[in-house]
Structure 1
Amino acid sequence: MKRKKVRIQVQQTGMFSDDRIVMLSDTLVKAWKIPAQTPITLRFGSASQEVKVVPVHQSGVLRVNESLAATWGLLPGSPLCLKYRPVSRVLRIGPLIGVMISRANSANPERPFGTVTAFCRELDVACRLYGAAVYFVTPDELSGQDDMVKGWQYAGRWTNGSFPVPNVIYNRLTSRKFENRPNVQQFLQYAKTQHRTVMFNEMYLNKSDVFDALRKVPGLHMYLPESYLLKSQETLKSMCAKYSTVFLKPITGSLGKGIIRIRRHPDQSYVCHFTNSGGARKQSYGSLTQLCAALSGKIKQQRYQIQQGLSLITVGGRPVDFRALVQRNERGEWNITSIVARTAGNHHFVSNLARGGSLSSVKVALARSNSTASFGGAIKLRRAALAIAKGIESQVTGHFAELGVDLALDVQGRVWLIEVNSKPSKDDNTQLSDKKLRPSVKRIVQYSRYAAKF
């Protein structure tokens, strides 16, 4: 199938009332051998309509009746890709991308999606650049087995509408609670089984499962700090005895929430730092027994991953780590889109921006670290991020097309994996000069076009 980008023109009903007629460039009709005046199938996402193609002299446009455009949510002037399969006589327009977001507020028409509104608008611009259509849908608007979906699109302003089930679903839900809603799961299952919808980043990653999976890949052992699902006090005691610093991380946590750092002093006393909104709360314990007794309640209430502490390079005495955004490209292959350095804020030991961390380029952070360990660091970080993304693909169930891979560089120059995030924050990966459309947003659309076979 050949691909052509066309612009949608909407004809008023008075000009031709039959929504089963579409008009297309006569040169394209002839080149693709599309039968004129003989019924073929027009498809947009899951929607289909039997139509007759009428050749016209104007090139680069597809004219449709306003009734059909309204039913499918097609906007006048929208650039879309057009493909024709002569064997089945199917003319496809798209791709149609559905983005699942957590919530929408119709009372705030300028920013209906809160802090992610700007990203949604940017994604819409990228779709127009590459010939795709996008709408945004919340869990509240999904129902189990409907062929039309209520959602939002940008048409000079944010508007509500109904749309076909999309070719591609991009999961930007920020809560496991939303992901696991019965209506959401029923809709996703229906879309995938009945309409062959491609869904990517379909679930959050569990820290423990990720490390267990990556251990199965021999070439990745070098990046993995010793790490276990914390099931007993015996594991806590053995790790604290083996390493002077260990971290307890909630296996379903994000944004640095709930992380506990444990440090052993030479006199065998221990100091715990607990993350909170103001920085870190400090608590001292005279012995390992006291430490275990104090943490026993938390361990029973929350599942933690216990991880070997690392001696990281620092900038101004503050630890630095690196967030690599790894995405599939227009050929479906993993590529590094960006890597940024994140320096922990004052009174924090985690680097998340939500915890006061700051961004810089990798080059600047490595230079400011004044460490010989930083030599060749940029290349080693890229190599590690790409290998880890491929490891996730080979070992973890689910379809992922973008991953936030958090890495660290220790004082010996060794790269370590901190964690992998399947819902990387768009703020964390903002380019340092973000006046133009971000490459990360373009790549989402490019991959979606590939996944939908456009």
Structure 2
Amino acid sequence: MHKSKVAVQLISSGMLPEDTIMLGEAYLKQWHISNSVSIVLRFGTFRKTVKIIPVPKYDGMRINQSLARQMGILSSTTLRVNYDSASTTLRLGPLIGVLISRDYPSTPDKPFGTITMFCKELADGCATQGAHVYFFTPNHIAGSNDKHIDGWTFSNGWKKAKLPLPDIVNNRLTSRKLESKPSVQQFFKEMKSSHHASVFNEKFLEKIEVFDALKKDPGVSRYLPESHTLRNYTTLKSMCSRYSNVFLKPSKGSLGKGIIRVTRQEGDSYQAHFTTGTGTRKQVYPNLVKLFSNISTKMKTIKYQAQQGLTLIEIQKRPVDFRAVVQKNALGKWALTSVVARTASSQHFVSNLARGGTLSTVSEAVSRSNIFAGKEGAAKRLRTAALTIAEGIDKHIPAHFGELGIDLALDTSGRVWLLEVNSKPSKSDNTPLNQDNDSDNKIRPSVRNVIQYSRFLSGF
């Protein structure tokens, strides 16, 4: 099977029948295709039997505009192509579908709200690599029984088009509620079973699920702070007797929402720090029973993880943690894309950018921190931990992930700890800090890697 890129040119319907394509003669010789043989043209789930007209001294493909519309191709483009002689199938692609939470058709210049720039970056990256991408929401798949989706594609501006089901689905849903909809889950199931497509980042991760799974792996367990599902008062009492600080984290939470830090005071009293939208709310309780009584109402609707408090490195008394983005590459292997340090704002004890945290390089943060041992080699230890944890997730959690945001910490002795793993890493947390304005750098490595892994999965 040979692989290459081909320039696909759209020509008017009057010049070429719908069931015929024109192809550079060199391709036919390369793939040993006879002029008289009909072949199957495939693009995602689209298939059509076509005749080929060889064109001497031409290295592209020409197709009828009507045929292009059926394929969801709105303008001339460059795509990867491969030919399978056993099935006489000429595949164009990869066709990548990105499932997003919502769209805004009334603002066609910004149809995806705050993630429009990321979507455009992905479209530009696909154009460079010879792939085709479109974007759709759960509303576009609800009740869809045919092999097409009404999605958004970029062609001199954002346009709606009817496209075939894709080779690859990249799940970028940011809502657990949307992801759990029966129509979405049925779509994932059908894409995998009926259409043999790959779906990656197919589910959200829960903190308790991650820690319980990784405890089984000796190579990963050394990075795990002691953690338990907060089932009752006994669990809280046991953790607070061992550690001066205990964090209570919603198992399904993100962006630092709902985290409670419990700190033992002098005597029997305890102080709780609650994250709020504007900062931190403090409350002192005369004893642990009173504290537990106060939070037990939350436990009726939210499952909490009780986690060992760590003595994190700090910069001017502000805790620092690290976001590592790991992605599968063109060979299908986990690779590190970036690691950045995040320093909490003065109003918060969590470092998320959404809560006023600031970014810096790992070396800058470590050098400015109060770390007293293990400063040398800290960056390497963080990289090793991120890749080891990603491999552990693959091994112990039965779901397909192509990228992970892994939140790590260093304690003051230089030891690396895992805080949490996010299967939908933000596209704003991992921008390389040394990025310049050169045109070659406008497509971030994290975006290029998504395309390369999609090519790997689809055989392009």
Are 2:459 and 1:453 aligned? yes
Opposite residue 88 of structure 1, the aligned amino acid is S
Q: What secondary structure does 2:13 align onto?
A: coil
CA deviation after TM superposition for structure 1 residue 59, in Å: 3.2
Write out the 4+ residue segments of structure 1 that deviate beyond 3 Å after TM superposition. none
Equivalent-residue separation in structure 1 for 2:207 and 2:59 (angstroms): 49
Opposite residue 459 of structure 2, the aligned amino acid is K
Equivalent-residue separation in structure 1 for 2:59 and 2:286 (angstroms): 76
CA deviation after TM superposition for structure 1 residue 68, in Å: 0.7
Flag structure 1 segments of 5+ consecutive residues without an equivalent: none
- Specify the alignment match of 1:102 in structure 2: 101
- Specify the alignment match of 1:182 in structure 2: 182
Opposite residue 10 of structure 2, the aligned amino acid is V
CA deviation after TM superposition for structure 1 residue 395, in Å: 0.3
CA deviation after TM superposition for structure 1 residue 372, in Å: 3.0
CA deviation after TM superposition for structure 1 residue 370, in Å: 4.5
Opposite residue 121 of structure 1, the aligned amino acid is K
**1:233-244 aligned within 5 A:** 233-244=233-244
- Specify the alignment match of 2:287 in structure 1: 287
Q: What secondary structure does 2:311 align onto?
A: coil
**1:370-389 aligned within 5 A:** 370-373=370-373, 374-389=375-390
- Specify the alignment match of 1:69 in structure 2: 68
Q: What secondary structure does 2:15 align onto?
A: coil
- Specify the alignment match of 2:333 in structure 1: 333
Equivalent-residue separation in structure 1 for 2:429 and 2:146 (angstroms): 35
CA deviation after TM superposition for structure 1 residue 58, in Å: 4.5
Opposite residue 384 of structure 2, the aligned amino acid is R
Q: What secondary structure does 2:337 align onto?
A: strand
**1:102-251 aligned within 5 A:** 102-143=101-142, 144-251=144-251
Equivalent-residue separation in structure 2 for 1:344 and 1:378 (angstroms): 19
- Specify the alignment match of 1:40 in structure 2: 39
Contact 1:96 1:133 in 2 (8 A): yes
Opposite residue 149 of structure 2, the aligned amino acid is V
- Specify the alignment match of 2:306 in structure 1: 306
CA deviation after TM superposition for structure 1 residue 88, in Å: 1.1
- Specify the alignment match of 1:275 in structure 2: 275
- Specify the alignment match of 1:347 in structure 2: 347
CA deviation after TM superposition for structure 1 residue 271, in Å: 0.6
Q: What secondary structure does 1:407 align onto?
A: strand
CA deviation after TM superposition for structure 1 residue 145, in Å: 3.0
Q: What secondary structure does 2:124 align onto?
A: helix
- Specify the alignment match of 1:442 in structure 2: 448
Equivalent-residue separation in structure 2 for 1:94 and 1:104 (angstroms): 25
- Specify the alignment match of 2:10 in structure 1: 10
Contact 1:12 1:66 in 2 (8 A): yes
Contact 1:340 1:360 in 2 (8 A): yes
Equivalent-residue separation in structure 2 for 1:59 and 1:167 (angstroms): 28
- Specify the alignment match of 1:81 in structure 2: 80
Flag structure 2 segments of 5+ consecutive residues without an equivalent: none
Q: What secondary structure does 2:365 align onto?
A: helix
Per-residue CA deviation, residues 312-358 of structure 1 (Å, 9 max, x unaligned), is 00111100000000000000000000000000011100000001101
Equivalent-residue separation in structure 1 for 2:391 and 2:361 (angstroms): 24
The TM-score, its normalising length taken from structure 2, stands at 0.97
Equivalent-residue separation in structure 2 for 1:158 and 1:47 (angstroms): 22
Contact 1:145 1:187 in 2 (8 A): no
Query: 183-192 or 376-385: which moved more?
Result: 183-192
Structure 1 residues 412 and 159, CA, compared in 2 at 3 Å: closer, same or farther?
same
Per-residue CA deviation, residues 118-167 of structure 1 (Å, 9 max, x unaligned), is 00000001101111000000011113432001110111111111110100
Q: What secondary structure does 1:121 align onto?
A: helix
Query: 361-370 or 310-319: which moved more?
Result: 361-370
Q: What secondary structure does 2:222 align onto?
A: helix
Contact 1:152 1:160 in 2 (8 A): yes
Contact 2:25 2:59 in 1 (8 A): no
- Specify the alignment match of 1:396 in structure 2: 397
Contact 1:3 1:81 in 2 (8 A): yes
Equivalent-residue separation in structure 2 for 1:407 and 1:338 (angstroms): 13
Contact 1:145 1:186 in 2 (8 A): no
CA deviation after TM superposition for structure 1 residue 76, in Å: 2.6
Contact 2:233 2:289 in 1 (8 A): no
Equivalent-residue separation in structure 1 for 2:311 and 2:32 (angstroms): 66
Equivalent-residue separation in structure 2 for 1:58 and 1:383 (angstroms): 51
- Specify the alignment match of 1:22 in structure 2: 21
The TM-score, its normalising length taken from structure 1, stands at 0.98
- Specify the alignment match of 1:420 in structure 2: 421
Contact 1:406 1:417 in 2 (8 A): yes
Opposite residue 21 of structure 1, the aligned amino acid is T
**1:46-57 aligned within 5 A:** 46-57=45-56
Equivalent-residue separation in structure 1 for 2:136 and 2:75 (angstroms): 21
Query: 384-393 or 186-195: which moved more?
Result: 186-195
Opposite residue 95 of structure 1, the aligned amino acid is P
Equivalent-residue separation in structure 1 for 2:167 and 2:329 (angstroms): 17
Contact 2:109 2:158 in 1 (8 A): yes
Equivalent-residue separation in structure 1 for 2:380 and 2:399 (angstroms): 28
Opposite residue 409 of structure 2, the aligned amino acid is A
Opposite residue 426 of structure 2, the aligned amino acid is S
Q: What secondary structure does 2:447 align onto?
A: helix
Query: 371-380 or 407-416: which moved more?
Result: 371-380
Equivalent-residue separation in structure 2 for 1:58 and 1:255 (angstroms): 56
Equivalent-residue separation in structure 2 for 1:298 and 1:395 (angstroms): 30
Opposite residue 406 of structure 1, the aligned amino acid is D
Contact 2:75 2:155 in 1 (8 A): no
CA deviation after TM superposition for structure 1 residue 202, in Å: 0.3
Contact 2:123 2:154 in 1 (8 A): yes
